[in-house]
Amino acid sequence: MSDTNIIDLLRQRLPSECVLSEAEDLRPYECDGLSAYRRLPMVVVIPQTLEQVQTTLKLCAQKAVAVVARGAGTGLSGGALPLSDGVLLSMARFNRILEIDTANRCARVQPGVTNLSISKAAAPHGLYYAPDPSSQIACSIGGNVAENAGGVHCLKYGLTVHNIQKIEVLTIDGEHLTIGSQALDSPGYDLLALMTGSEGLLGVITEITVKLLPLPETAQVVLAAFTSVEAAGAAVTATIAGGIIPAGLELLDNPAIRAVEQFVHAGYPEDAAAILLCELDGTDADVATQIERVSAVFRAAGATELRVSRDEQERQRFWAGRKAAFPAMGRLSPDYYCMDGTIPRKHLARVLAEIDRLSTEYGLPICNVFHAGDGNLHPLILYDANQPGELERTEELGGKILELCVAVGGTITGEHGVGLEKINQMCVQFNTEELTQLHAVKHAFDPQGLLNPGKAIPTLHRCAEFGAMHVHRGQLPHPELERF
């Protein structure tokens, strides 16, 4: 079938304002937050109703046209990169908060609602939504579910998967599914956990029921300065080992501290090799006790300076610096490549030292900004895409960091997803049999392989070319998926 035919069919079935096909209209959709990869979609569909989403999916299924669902486009793994011969399905107009249910402490929202908007709507009721990615002012809750996003408070309150109760999903055939429930448990397999973090490969999310938590009575941040990144990493391990579970525990190294301080003026000590931001929340008495315990642990680990936020304004300022860390990198380099690996906390000091060694080996600066409490690393590799070969060298270095995470018992992603960026490292993380099972799950939901093809799960051909595994008995599962 020709490109023109599918576009004509979409225009026949949908309002004209829902279908974009001119190059200048497609340009805003050529990439997500990981802008190193760019590609114009064949056509963009921006539905306004559930029926329009179903119509689009049914047409694409009938004509074997691939579909890439997109939220706010803030992703950092190339997961929403469009296909030049496929449909880019934007859920941006599904942006309403449908219900705040105070009795059951939950909210029903559409996927295009921004993360922060949920907490703002719940605040008058003394409630909030816990997961808070750094991009929470812009990222959509549908994208958060697709990537299983975290944030600075995921250490204590969990990732997206721990903070949702139910989702409404459309399959590639337009079939409507309700997955999960507001009960404490659901019968059968945990399909809600399966869908969360599935990166648009299994279905298109049209509604989410999220959990809401009571706003804590008190929250304060302890800022601790250290003379080395390794000492700060050791302090993180000692904190958790001591039975203290902060609401958030973040680490920034010196290059990140200096960039952030010049950008936001958060009050960070620019001479520190690393700082920890440790938030404690709860009752006034509990927080006071926890601050004493954390301060003692930090001093024993070698902290040279300790500050405790004196009021809500200062607490917000400390966090504003951390959440502005990624954009602040523009002061240091024309481009940066954000990695996202997770490791056991006990290996923090070792892995940070090895990242420093790799930085020297490749001649590329690295700033470390990450969720230290749960071992979710975000090394930012600084580079200049205008320099020939520098992007390729940066990608190779990023791959080495991810493989290091796997080598110490970790994983290649904590919250950004695999997308296109880390698909080769999936060949390192999983063996042939495991990837075969992942393809089988994909095939059960999407037999034609039309939803976000080429992302998250590598083909065995790709892994064989990458040199990380051997094809099992010369067979490839679901060969119809290989064409992507």
Q: Which domains does the chain have, with CATH numbers?
A: 3-90 (3.30.43.10), 97-214 (3.30.465.10), 218-327 (3.30.70.2190), 333-423 (3.30.70.2740), 430-481 (no CATH)
CA–CA distance, 32 with 205 (Å, rounded to integer): 18
CA–CA distance, 233 with 231 (Å, rounded to integer): 5
End-to-end CA distance of the chain: 17
- Contact between residue 201 and residue 452 where contact means Cβ atoms under 8 Å apart: yes
H helix intervals, 430-479: 432-445, 460-466
CA–CA distance, 338 with 368 (Å, rounded to integer): 10
Q: Summarize pLDDT for 328-372 with one digit per residue, the tens.
A: 998 899 999 999 999 998 898 889 889 999 999 999 999 999 999
Q: Which contacts (CB < 8 Å, 24+ apart) does range 442-448 have? A: 442/201, 442/202, 442/478, 442/481, 443/477, 443/478, 443/481, 445/171, 445/172, 445/201, 445/202, 445/203, 446/171, 446/172, 446/201, 446/202, 446/203, 447/480, 448/61, 448/64, 448/172, 448/480
CA–CA distance, 475 with 192 (Å, rounded to integer): 31
For residue 270, give both structure tokens.
């620019």
CA–CA distance, 369 with 250 (Å, rounded to integer): 8
* 3-state SS class at 187: coil
CA–CA distance, 45 with 20 (Å, rounded to integer): 6
The whole-model pTM stands at: 0.92
Residue written as tokens 């205008």? 386
Query: How far, in Å, are 78, 87, 127, 144, 222 from residue 94 at the CA level?
Result: 22, 18, 23, 14, 39
> Would strands 43-45 and 87-90 be described as parallel, antiparallel, or unpaired?
parallel
For residue 301, give both structure tokens.
């680990």
CA–CA distance, 77 with 35 (Å, rounded to integer): 9
The dihedral through the CA atoms of 224, 225, 231, 233 has a sign that is positive
CA–CA distance, 61 with 174 (Å, rounded to integer): 9
Q: What is the pLDDT of residue 466?
A: 85
Alpha carbon 455 to its chain centroid, in Å, reads: 15
Contacts of 158 (CB under 8 A, 6+ apart): 130, 131
Q: What is the pLDDT of residue 35?
A: 77
Q: What is the pLDDT of residue 184?
A: 81
- Residue ranges in the chain whose pLDDT is less than 50: 1, 469-484
CA–CA distance, 36 with 271 (Å, rounded to integer): 32
- Contact between residue 110 and residue 96 where contact means Cβ atoms under 8 Å apart: yes
Residue written as tokens 């250290």? 226
Contacts of 370 (CB under 8 A, 6+ apart): 250, 251, 376, 377, 378, 379
> Would strands 366-370 and 248-253 be described as parallel, antiparallel, or unpaired?
antiparallel
Residue written as tokens 């998967």? 161
CA–CA distance, 123 with 212 (Å, rounded to integer): 10
Query: How far, in Å, are 197, 199, 408 from residue 228 at the CA level?
Result: 34, 37, 21
Query: Any idea what the Cα angle at residue 437 is, between residues 436 and 442, rounded to 5°?
Result: 100
Q: How many residues does the chain have?
A: 484
Q: Of the candidates 346, 387, 416, which has an alpha carbon nearest to the alpha carbon of residue 78?
A: 416
